[in-house]
Structure 1
Amino acid sequence: MDTYSDNNKMQQEFQDIIHIKELLKKFPLGLNITEISNALHMHRNTCAKYLDMMRIKGDIDKKQSGTAKNYFLVQRMPLSSLLRFEEGPAIIINSKQEILMVTKPALDLFKCPLDVMYGEKIQNLPYHIFKDNEFIESAVEAVNGKNSNLKRETFILGKKYYFSIRFIPIITDSGKTGCAILIQDNTDFFEAKDKLFICKKQYEAITSDQTEFIVHTDVDLLITFVNEAFCRYLGRSFEGLCGLRFIPMFQADEREKIKNVLSSLSPQNPSGSIDIKTIQKDGSFGFEHWIFRGIFNDNKEISGYHAIGRNTTDLKKSEVQLRQYYDNLERLIQERTKELQEVNKRLLGVISEKEEIEKELLFTQFAFDNASDSIILFDDSGAVYKANKTAGELLGYSKEDFGEKSVYDINPSILPEEWRNMWAEAHPGKKERIISIHAKKDGKIFDVDVSRTFVRFHGNMYFCSIAREI
């Protein structure tokens, strides 16, 4: 019988507490004991007992208003429950803003022992963040039952930190109200964000100055980034290109080639290149060279592509012209070779008839001096070893003048480093034909067609320059 009575009593208390909560929900600013007891037709002392029970549990809070005490619902968390789930830095303060507890992560964060903080008022701590007016106001409001959030930048021992701070109303096991200050250290995130921003700006600076085309796509080959060079080449804006499919920008008969290159990419072979035909803006055929590189994630799966391209139309045309020049040079060499062979035959005939060695030297010297082209021999230091008559007439130098001149005087475009590099790869018979310049004695510069070769005579190597004024 007593058990039945106790159960009924507990059930009645439970129902009364629910009724009090439902009533207080309708009055956010709170009600006093008299107002609550009258509204629920409850004895004042019984009502006061329930309110004390609810306050200890953290369900309600009270605020002194003159001689009356108003009670209102709050979302106040029991301290023991909070600490069971919160592993980060936390500081617990009471209604007087005095520190009741500091977790180890908080001590590690502020790099101080417990005795520096324990029992001190929060605003008296030797850290700038605790002296912030909005911080203090948020702590006071949390003690009074209002939770809030705050983001702040601060310095601890000279290092900059980024904090996200939560102010949570709490109630201790003894029924005292307070505030839990939960600190989330976002420093690593913001530092990484700053570094990422700098890297992005550096990358944009690099790509904006590139003359080659740079295109980024996702795994579905949708364009996510293009540099200015590619925008100028296509005559479209960055926004107009991003989001488009990359492959359809090429000729239909070239797309399959590109797909084959992309399908061949792997972590072991991450890049591939291809030369493709294009249609220029004027309708003529052109050429482009592209290098595709796959971007792989940690699972070695393609997450995107990085493409670098350039317009090679002028290069292809230059290669064709160079081939024509080379063929012409080969024909000229063959003709000259035949001519020299004929000359050698005639020389051999003369030598066989009269004083072979002397006649050969005299004839060679004569041919050298009276050649229609300027011929100059240089030693490895660049000094003039020998020059023919035509060279003297062309440049305005006497035979004696050549003894004081070097290759840098004859051809001002050649630098000492270039001259050393030419000799580093020198071997007899190595030939080269270029368009260059020569300087006359009076300083006048003129263009020449130069045939260069290395010859060996009496164990010494000489650089032979055969030039003709253009």
Structure 2
Amino acid sequence: MENYQEELAEIKTILKNNPKGMTVTDIARQMHINRNSVAKYLDILLISGHTEMVTFGPAKVFFPSSRIPLATLMDFTHEYIVILDKQLKFLQVSEPLLQFLEIQRTEIIGRPIETFSVSFFQIPELAHYAKQALSGKERTIEEKYRQNTHDIYLKIRHIPTTFDDGEPGVILLIEDITDIKQTEEKIKHGIQEWETTFNAITEMVFIQDNNFSILKANRSFANFLNIKPEECIGKKCYQLLHGTHTSSESCPCASILQTKKPTTVEVFASHLQKYLEISASPIITDTGEMSGSVHIIRDITDRKIFIAQP
């Protein structure tokens, strides 16, 4: 494969000497070659990041790129960076990665990724998707591996690239997302614990917004209504308890919307033929606004009947 090194170097020199930018025609005229060849060389330089292009109407103007030295970028990012050549051999690795692997640069440079099994490089997907990246397919994966007694979570991006000589290569951006995953697991575990506790409460409990729509209902409340907890979500409390389309004057929900203070009422739910004691408490945000309310319901029918007996 031709690499056009002389032509590419000449174009870079021309652009450097003309920092205000040049068109394909300008460059072709100065190099004394045809526009198609110049366009081909510029494509290589654009892909490899050596030039930048700005469109002004129908004209494309090319400028020398302002490039940060790769080694500097690699060593000051929090991600581990690997650059592979077209044979998937290690061409460059960032210093933070060498420190993580506890190896010298000479122990990895030039070795094929497929035969390098130190630390997380034993994950087979790294080499598999690196091969696909050579043909232009970018891929991001998340993998977990065991290091000593700890699980390590990684997010790995396989990015196709093209070198100065026009040859394909692959950049691996490897991010340690262990802290993120552990936080997600703690949140998930906390939610599961909350759900378990919420559903273990023998009293009927539901949470609703300021529009009387139920956001969450425990199993006791759903069982009382002979439905599933998820069937309560989105329903109005007065629909389920009273079989009506609007709230009543004795509704504790309407009361706490006005006072923002807890209240307890006893009502006869004719729709259910039950006497209920309903305690409602507002949910107040950090800004002092009421975002909803928590309701605890007790079936006091038997008590009412007992008291009413002569």
TM range (shorter): 0.5 to 0.7
Stretches of structure 2 that go unaligned for 5 or more consecutive residues are 1-22, 49-65
Could you tell me how far 1:54 is from its partner in structure 2? Answer: 4.0
Structure 1 segment 31-430 matched on structure 2, within 5 A: 47=37, 51=40, 54-58=43-47, 83=73, 88-103=79-94, 106=97, 110=100, 112=102, 115=105, 117-127=108-118, 129-172=120-163, 177-247=168-238, 249=241, 252-255=248-251, 257-265=252-260, 272-280=262-270, 283=273, 286-294=275-283, 296=285, 298-316=286-304
Could you tell me how far 1:136 is from its partner in structure 2? Answer: 0.9
Could you tell me how far 1:124 is from its partner in structure 2? Answer: 4.3
Kept in 2: contact 1:215–1:307 (CA 8 A): yes
Kept in 2: contact 1:93–1:99 (CA 8 A): yes
Q: Secondary structure at the match of 1:136?
A: helix
Could you tell me how far 1:272 is from its partner in structure 2? Answer: 1.5
Could you tell me how far 1:237 is from its partner in structure 2? Answer: 3.1
Stretches of structure 1 that go unaligned for 5 or more consecutive residues are 1-5, 18-46, 60-77, 266-270, 325-470
Q: Secondary structure at the match of 2:186?
A: helix
Cα distance between partner residues in 2 of 1:105 and 1:305 = 51
Deviations 1:241-291 (A, max 9, x none): 211123554561312x432224433xxxxx6231231225674x6231314
Q: Is 230-239 or 168-177 further displaced after alignment?
A: 168-177
Could you tell me how far 1:167 is from its partner in structure 2? Answer: 1.0
Cα distance between partner residues in 1 of 2:24 and 2:44 = 23
Could you tell me how far 1:181 is from its partner in structure 2? Answer: 0.4
Cα distance between partner residues in 2 of 1:303 and 1:213 = 21
Amino acid at match of 2:174: I
Q: Secondary structure at the match of 1:243?
A: coil
Kept in 1: contact 2:101–2:118 (CA 8 A): no
Return closer, same or farther for 1:53/1:197 CA change in 2, 3 Å cut-off.
closer
Deviations 1:371-390 (A, max 9, x none): xxxxxxxxxxxxxxxxxxxx
Cα distance between partner residues in 2 of 1:121 and 1:317 = 83
Cα distance between partner residues in 2 of 1:106 and 1:303 = 47
Return closer, same or farther for 1:8/1:94 CA change in 2, 3 Å cut-off.
closer
Q: Secondary structure at the match of 2:250?
A: helix
> Sequence identity of aligned pairs in percent?
21
Could you tell me how far 1:306 is from its partner in structure 2? Answer: 2.8
**Could you tell me which residue of structure 1 aligns to residue 19 of structure 2?**
none
Could you tell me how far 1:151 is from its partner in structure 2? Answer: 3.0
Over the aligned positions, Cα root-mean-square deviation in angstroms equals 4.1
Deviations 1:118-169 (A, max 9, x none): 5544344444542344321321332444322333222234322333321112
Return closer, same or farther for 1:100/1:295 CA change in 2, 3 Å cut-off.
farther
Deviations 1:435-469 (A, max 9, x none): xxxxxxxxxxxxxxxxxxxxxxxxxxxxxxxxxxx
Return closer, same or farther for 1:178/1:311 CA change in 2, 3 Å cut-off.
same
TM-score (normalizing by structure 1): 0.46
Kept in 1: contact 2:140–2:157 (CA 8 A): yes
Deviations 1:202-230 (A, max 9, x none): 33333333221111223543212211211
Kept in 1: contact 2:139–2:157 (CA 8 A): yes
Q: Secondary structure at the match of 1:199?
A: helix
Match of 1:16 among 35, 41, 48: 35
Kept in 2: contact 1:168–1:180 (CA 8 A): yes
Q: Secondary structure at the match of 2:265?
A: strand
The answer to which structure, 1 or 2, has the higher relative contact order (CA under 8 A, 6+ apart) is: 2
Cα distance between partner residues in 2 of 1:106 and 1:220 = 54
Cα distance between partner residues in 2 of 1:231 and 1:139 = 52
Cα distance between partner residues in 1 of 2:217 and 2:180 = 28
Q: Secondary structure at the match of 1:55?
A: helix
Amino acid at match of 2:254: K
Return closer, same or farther for 1:10/1:196 CA change in 2, 3 Å cut-off.
same
Structure 1 segment 434-445 matched on structure 2, within 5 A: none
Cα distance between partner residues in 1 of 2:25 and 2:83 = 40
Kept in 2: contact 1:258–1:274 (CA 8 A): no
Return closer, same or farther for 1:243/1:121 CA change in 2, 3 Å cut-off.
same
Kept in 1: contact 2:217–2:233 (CA 8 A): yes
**Could you tell me which residue of structure 1 aligns to residue 5 of structure 2?**
none
Return closer, same or farther for 1:175/1:207 CA change in 2, 3 Å cut-off.
same
Deviations 1:317-371 (A, max 9, x none): 56678xx9xxxxxxxxxxxxxxxxxxxxxxxxxxxxxxxxxxxxxxxxxxxxxxx
What is the count of residue pairs matched by the alignment?
A: 262
Cα distance between partner residues in 2 of 1:304 and 1:259 = 11
Could you tell me how far 1:98 is from its partner in structure 2? Answer: 3.0
